[in-house]
Amino acid sequence: MCSNESSGKRQEWSATRDAFPPGGCPGNHESAGKRVAGKKRKGNPYVRRILCEAANAASRTRCALQEKFKSLLVRRGRKRAIFALAHKMLKIVFVLLSRGDYYRDATTNYEKLTVERNAPRWMKMLVKYGYITTA
């Protein structure tokens, strides 16, 4: 958690609030029931550029972020979808850092990957210690 010690109060930060420095939150204006797309802030151009590069790479991999990108792409177009994905990634990074956790993709079966990677070594160890014999 980030804290603000200078004012003497502990200030909790949220993922949405931390998305502002790179300029990741456009305004949400509504008038007469119609939504008008707001302009995004300028923000830090270096952070924004890195996040958009990462979002572009994530849009080309098989993961949950690619599914999010595809759903946004149909409705918003490529550039806006990339920026929205960068914003989502920034929120994910903030949550992971604040919890001290690792990113685990919802669409990946990590147990299956572990078994596939380690099965040959496990079989060699079973043969080595005599639990199974080779034919």
Per-residue DSSP letters for 65-106?
HHHHHHHHHHHH-HHHHHHHHHHHHHHHHHHHHHHT-----T
Give the pLDDT confidence of 56-97 residue by residue, as tens digits.
999 999 888 999 999 999 999 999 999 999 999 999 999 999
pLDDT at residue 46 is higher than 60: yes
Examine the pLDDT at 3 and tell me if it is beyond 80: no
Q: What is the pLDDT of residue 24?
A: 59
Domain ranges for the chain: 15-104
Q: Residues 4-32: what's their mean pLDDT?
A: 57
